[in-house]
Chain A
Amino acid sequence: MDNGTDRSAASVRAVEIGVAAAILLFGLVVVIDSYRLGARWGDDGPQPGYFPLYVGLLICASAVTILLRGWRNAALSDESFVSREELKKILTVLVPTVVYVSLIAYLGFYLASTLYIAYFMWQLGKYPWVKIVPVAVGVSVVFFLIFEVWFQVPLPKGPLEAALGLG
């Protein structure tokens, strides 16, 4: 669906085929590993790969069906899976989310979460800093009280908690 302003970034057909191919690959991995483990009848019953082998074969079969159907259905090429505008929006959330979860290990849960919420409000919500700081810090403090104090479920901590003597 090309309408000039918001062009498609990928057609449904392309994504359908791509995902089906990925599933097929996954199915093949399952089948190969099941063979390695032994998928026959052992001395004392079915070998460990017996059940997964059929699971893998069914994955492959369904993936091939979806792939062929997508291949033959040319109409799907005109249908947009995701427009450029939409993809941009998704990436503005997905990329910071990936950064956020990888930062947790270094900064600890609470500091990383504060930065993440602040970034979101600044980038997507265009809030002034006077609103961002209290909300982002407040949410993390509430989570700290709920998890560390009330439920006593420890979450990963970083240098900040160590400096404050809470770690």
Chain B
Amino acid sequence: MEEINALLGGFGVALSPLNLVLMFVGVILGIIIGVLPGLGGANGVAILLPLTFSMAQQPGGTTSAIILLSCIYWGALFGGAITSILFNIPGEPWSVATTFDGHPLAQQGRAGSALTAAFTSSFVGALIAVIMITFLSPVVAGFALKFGPPEFFAVYLLTFCAFVGMSGGNAAKTVASMMIGFALAAVGLDSVTGTLRLTFGFTSLLKGFDFLIAVIGLFGIGEILETLEEGLAFKGANAKINMKVVLETWKELPRYWATSLRSSAVGCFMGIVPGGATPASFMSYGLARRLSKDGRDFGNGKVEGVVAPETAAHAAGTSALLPMITLGVPGSPTAAVLLGGLLIWGLQPGPLLFVEKPDFVWGLIASMYLGNIAGLIVVLTCVPLFAAILRIPFSIIAPVIIVICAIGAYTVHNSMFDVYLMVVFGVIGYAFKKLGYPLAPMVLALVLGDRAEENFRNAIKGSQGDLMVFFSNGLVGGLTALALLLLFWPLIRTLLRTLQGKRTA
């Protein structure tokens, strides 16, 4: 019951008046960010990160800063559902499955129940994931305290192999995107030997590429360009929501408890695996369709078809923070940006955080409970306001978003070069998205590149260059083997299928 005590302490930290205000500010900003085209959880948090630099220097400020940023994340997750249901535009990849039944419901004039179902199930999914984080993260962190460089590198390897094996897309494109991220992370001063790498005499490259700039460009500018192509007008359904609709939908929701639990389980499990939120939402939608008794009506506007993907996406989005705080390995691009924030504020994410900064960790976990409650209250009461944002003409909102991106890019290092770089990343993001290169691996590699390399070098330094160090004991060997298994999973699966086919034939 040590966790309960620690959590209560965390609530003490999170419930201070300042932190409560920041929580609501974060959630509201997050919903706006989630609703706006071109701004999502990842680049929204990246743009606002520089504003927390001075906040984080005050005593206890890092906790306030992480509460603000993580609440932006929860808000963005909620906001994604609004655009999916009302406008048939998934704000984030994991809201795609929400459009399948959410938008038909809205067209039938039942937008209110679709939104209520989406928000409530998001809340349930997040809540279950937070409960899991509360009890599992101290265990994982305690376990990870025994890790040395080989183990840490093996965890990174596992993260990146999971991307390749589980993404389902084109593996070569995933590898290319990831390795470009690693190469960009290596640019600049090598921290171990002090030599300059890949700078080719350009002084502006000395500092290397900041992943925040990449995130703002890739996800912000790139998405604006993509949205433009699809046309400038958004046609949305009406967003009427009142207490009567909310209560009626709430009466209906307990019927879907099985879908809810199943989707939460899928979400929690997949969220720990990087890039898991999107497959989790599709997977639980598919499962719900197969197992529900009116599965055939899915796609024509079933509330259950909204419950399944939303629960899973939120559970996954939330549990993506578990590996971030315990191992220093983010499970999603937004978690990667939050991790970058911790590094900038001078905190070392990883198992030691639980020992050295318990106030910070438990304040964050407590704020996850409170932030989601705050989010639910805000979205249920203010949906029409947020939907109105999307009715602002694109020719006004697009330049304003680009200006915000430019400000965000500039304030990271007060450098104009970063703003130019942001535009370049925007064009790359647009081309990559259209050709089916996943962007998340590149961002994760950019964030983790230096740490992965450092651990790799320390590991093989210890073993005098022998790569067998990654199999030297059960722990590291198991992690490496699991990584390789995930990497070759598509191949193994095809092999297993052919073998099975032969046996039955």
Contacts and interface: CB of A to CB of B under 8 A. Distances in A.
A155 B407 contact: yes
A15 B232 contact: no
Interface string B397-421: 0111011001100110010100110
A153 B411 contact: yes
Nearest to A98: B423
B435 interface: yes
Contacts of A160: none
The main secondary structure of chain B at its interface with chain A is helix
Interface stretch (B253-261, B266-274, B452-460): B452-460
Contact of A104 (B198, B419, B435, B453): B419
Contacts of B422: 101
B225 interface: yes
B228 A104 contact: no
A111 B221 CA distance: 21
Contacts of A109: 406-407, 410
A113 B400 CA distance: 8
B190 A59 contact: no
Contact of B435 (A12, A27, A47, A65): A12
Contact of A117 (B50, B176, B403): B403
Given A48-B192, A56-B183, A59-B179, A151 B403 contact: no
A32 B461 CA distance: 24
B132 to A, nearest CB: 34
A56 B411 CA distance: 31
Given A59-B180, A101-B406, A109-B407, A33 B197 contact: yes
A69 B172 contact: yes
A105 B406 CA distance: 12
Interface in A120-139: 120-121, 124-125, 127, 135, 139
B395 A124 contact: yes
Instruction: Give the bracket for the number of chain A residues in contact with chain B.
Output: 35 or more
A94 to B, nearest CB: 7
**Which size bracket describes the interface of B in this complex?**
35 or more
Contacts of A97: 221, 402, 423, 426
B395 A127 contact: yes
Contact of B183 (A59, A100, A119, A156): A59
B416 A105 contact: yes
Interface in A57-79: 58-59, 61-63, 65-66, 69
A17 to B, nearest CB: 11
A63 B399 contact: no
Contacts of B170: 66
Contacts of A143: 403, 407
A43 to B, nearest CB: 11
Interface string B437-467: 0000000000000000100110011000100
B175 interface: yes
B195 interface: yes
Given A94-B225, A117-B403, A62 B172 contact: yes
Given A62-B176, A66-B173, A93 B197 contact: no
B186 interface: yes
Interface string B49-65: 01100100000000000
B434 interface: yes
A47 B50 CA distance: 34
Interface of B: 50-51, 54, 170, 172-173, 175-176, 179-180, 182-183, 186, 190, 192-193, 195, 197-198, 200, 221, 224-225, 228-229, 232, 393-396, 398-400, 402-403, 406-407, 410-411, 414, 416, 419-420, 422-423, 426-427, 430-432, 434-435, 453, 456-457, 460-461, 465
Interface of A: 12, 15-16, 19, 23, 26-27, 29-30, 33-34, 37, 41, 44-52, 55-56, 58-59, 61-63, 65-66, 69, 81-82, 86, 89-90, 93-94, 97-98, 100-102, 104-105, 109, 113, 116-117, 119-121, 124-125, 127, 135, 139, 143, 147, 151-156
3 A-B pairs closest in CB distance: A125-B395, A120-B399, A62-B176
11 contacts: A12-B435, A15-B435, A30-B198, A34-B197, A37-B197, A46-B461, A58-B175, A94-B225, A97-B426, A100-B406, A116-B402
Given A19-B431, A59-B183, 9 more contacts: A15-B431, A30-B183, A52-B197, A66-B172, A86-B229, A93-B224, A94-B427, A100-B402, A100-B406
